[in-house]
Amino acid sequence: MSYTLHDRQTAPEASRGILEQAEQAYGFVPNLFGVLAESPAALRAYAAVTDILQHAGLDPVEQQVVMLTVSADNGCTYCVGAHSALAQRVKMDPAVLEALRAQGELPDAKLEALRRFTLAVMSHRGWVPEAELQAFHDAGYGQREVLDVITIVALKTLSNYTNHIAATPLDTAFAGQAWEPGRTTG
C-alpha cells in the first residue's frame, strides 16, 4: 500500500496549520509530516510532543542522542538520516554522531550513559533493572531526565513505526545523511 505525502494543499484541513509551521521551521515540509498529515491526530501528537521537548531537562544534543539511539535500534532509515542532520545543526560532536550511527559506544561517558539507559528502557519495555537506573543517575541524570527519555522513546516509536509502514522516503535536505542498518556512513 502506498501512503500519500501530503502538502499544505492536499492535507486534511485539520493538518494544514501544522504543515505550515513545519515548512516555516525547516524551510520545507518534511516527508514524515506529509505522511502523518493523513491523520490530524497523529500529526498533532507528533508536533505537540516535539514542541514540548523545549521544556525537557535534556539539552538538544542529549535529545538527539536519544532520538538517534531509538531510531537506529528500530532500524528507521528515515529518522536516523533526518536526526543525523538535526544533530549537526545542534553541534553534536562528529565522533558522537558517527558512533550513534554505527550503534557503538560513545566517546563521551555521560552521553554513553544516556545511550545505554535509552537502550535499557527499550529492551526492558520500561522495566529497567535497578542497576541500570542507578548507573544513569550516577552519570548525573535525575528523575526528570528519566521521564524525558521515556517521552522521546514514545515520540520516536510513533515516527519510526509510521516510517516503516509508509516507507517514507528521506527528504532531499537530509540525503547527505542517508543511513542503512549496519552501514555507518551516508
Q: What is the pLDDT along the chain (186 residues), one digit of tens a residue?
A: 899 999 999 999 999 999 999 999 999 999 999 999 999 999 999 999 999 999 999 999 999 999 999 999 999 999 999 999 999 999 999 999 999 999 999 999 999 999 999 999 999 999 999 999 999 999 999 999 999 999 999 999 999 999 999 999 999 999 999 999 975 444
Domain regions of the chain by residue span:
13-53, 57-177
pLDDT, position 1: 82
Distance (Å, rounded) from C-alpha 174 to C-alpha 30? Answer: 9
Q: Which three cell numbers stand for residue 65?
A: 542522542
| pLDDT of 185 | 44
Q: What is residue 162's predicted lDDT score, i.e. its pLDDT?
A: 98
CA 175/CA 169 separation, integer angstroms: 10
What SS3 state is found at 5?
Answer: coil
Fold type of domain 57-177: AhpD-like (1.20.1290)
In whole angstroms, give the CA distance from residue 94 to residue 80.
Answer: 14
pLDDT reported for residue 183: 56
Spatial CB neighbours of 121, under 8 Å, sequence gap ≥ 6:
128, 149, 150, 153
Dihedral over alpha carbons 107, 118, 160, 65 (to 10 degrees): -30
Rounded distance between C-alpha atoms, residue 39 and residue 68, angstroms: 25
Instruction: Give Cβ neighbours of residue 86 (< 8 Å, ≥ 6 apart).
Output: 64, 67
Predicted TM-score of the model (pTM): 0.94
- Give me the sign of the Cα torsion angle 96, 110, 64, 154: positive
